[in-house]
Amino acid sequence: MGQVSTRFPDFPWDTLAAAKARAAEHPDGLVDLSIGTPVDPTPAVAREALTAAADAPGYPTVFGPESLRQAAVDWLDRRFGVHGLSPSQVLPTVGSKEFIANLPTQLGLGAGDLVVVPELAYPTYEVGARYAGCEVIATDSTLSLGPRVPALVYLNSPANPSGQILGRDHLRKVVDWARERGALVVSDECYLEFAWEDTPCSVLHPDICGGSFDGILAVHSLSKRSNLAGYRDAFVTGDQSLITELLEVRKHLGFMLPTPVQAAMAAALGDDSHVDAQRTIYAARRHALRQAFESAGFTVEHSEGALYLWMTRGEPCRDTIDWLAEWGILAAPGDFYGAAGSQHVRAAFTATDERVAAAVARLTI
């Protein structure tokens, strides 16, 4: 058996241990902006649905009830103008990270298959591809591939870590290019409801896909939109043949959401008010932190959407991490997300109002 270290890169967060310890020595305590984990309450509509479904002695199904899948269809139509989906084209997943990590393997990809990820990317895209034995290329330009045809192309908008929102023309060109070559496009859209300076678009919108979902999958998560990261509920939707194939594979492997979590997910998808309220909270934290970081000499780039500020001081990112640690602040180094991030850091504005205020006070001294 091979060693894990030879199959995967080091787990990136483990490399922050020293900086975290230094930051924690601050007299007023650590301000952790490194991980975008929600800290605000799970909405009552989800907790009440979870409680009501708590008497669940039988096994859940991998596909989940049609009512859950219909809630996802209705949400995409209502919020993002995605028309024509059927509940049969929605597959619940145990969070989006699980799905992305296992997708190449569950599609039967492996040695000889090429997976394309963004130049700045959530690390799990690459990890999942390497887990399946695929080759990985990080690029934002299909021209750089030459005659090579990938099996899978990942998109992420609004993007983690940069917050960049991809325009409709760009999305349409990628979809058209992939379809001409028989490549699958997988769009990670878990931040779609958090945009600040532009309007994101789902890859399933008719302006992008032309009214056909062939060769496209879109991944959505409730972790961010509904503060349900602890529930591990997400879903994938799009190409009917691929959803059917993945359903059969996942039935064999037992990838199923607990019945109470399925109920909470359906309830949360049916309610927009809690998301709108959370957007207001994040907007205030984002504004305060952006002003503070800019006053401390940082240049904020992109950051049009998602829950992060993507910033640079024009120096190696680990030097910036060390500088912030001296002020009791922990951010994520840009090299977590690829070589293109070597001079950037990512700061999440998912900390509490009290911790955000502490960071602001330290940065504006």
Tens digit of each residue's pLDDT (9 = 90 or more) over 213-246 = 999 999 999 999 999 999 999 999 999 999 999 9
175 plus 223 within the same structural domain: yes
Question: Is pLDDT at 77 greater than 60 in this prediction?
Answer: yes
Per-residue pLDDT band at 6 (split at 50, 70, 90): low
User: Could you give the CA distance from residue 223 to residue 191 in angstroms, rounded to a whole number?
Assistant: 10
Structural domain of residue 63, as residue ranges? 44-271
Question: Is pLDDT at 322 greater than 90 in this prediction?
Answer: yes
Q: What percent of the chain has pLDDT over 90?
A: 95
7-11, 110-114, 226-230, 246-250: range with lowest mean pLDDT = 7-11
pLDDT mean over 197-225: 97
Q: What is the pLDDT of residue 143?
A: 83
Domains in the chain: how many in total?
2
For the domain that residue 142 is a member of, what is the CATH number?
A: 3.40.640.10
User: Could you give the CA distance from residue 154 to residue 126 in angstroms, rounded to a whole number?
Assistant: 10
Last residue of a domain, one of 236, 271, 306: 271
Listed in sequence order, the residues at least 6 apart from 177 whose beta carbon sits closer than 8 Å to its beta carbon are 142, 183
190 plus 312 within the same structural domain: no
201 plus 80 within the same structural domain: yes
Query: What's the half-sphere exposure (Cβ side, CA atoms, 13 Å) at 140?
Result: 11
Q: What is the pLDDT of residue 9?
A: 64
Per-residue pLDDT band at 1 (split at 50, 70, 90): very low
319 plus 338 within the same structural domain: yes
Last residue of a domain, one of 211, 238, 271: 271
115 plus 51 within the same structural domain: yes
How remote is the C-alpha of 118 from its chain's centroid? 13
Q: Residue 65, preceding bond cis, omega within 30 degrees?
A: no
For the domain that residue 315 is a member of, what is the CATH number?
A: 3.90.1150.10
180 plus 294 within the same structural domain: no
152 plus 295 within the same structural domain: no
101 plus 192 within the same structural domain: yes
Listed in sequence order, the residues at least 6 apart from 361 whose beta carbon sits closer than 8 Å to its beta carbon are none
15 plus 160 within the same structural domain: no
Q: What is the pTM for the complete model shown?
A: 0.95
Last residue of a domain, one of 271, 293, 314: 271
Q: What is the DSSP string of 263-320?
A: HHHHHHHT--HHHHHHHHHHHHHHHHHHHHHHHTT-EEE--SBTTEEEEE-SS-HHHH
176 plus 280 within the same structural domain: no
8 plus 143 within the same structural domain: no
234 plus 178 within the same structural domain: yes
Residue-wise pLDDT for 244-297, tens only, equals 999 999 999 999 999 999 999 999 999 999 999 999 999 999 999 999 999 999
Supply φ then ψ for residue 313, to 5 degrees. -115, 10
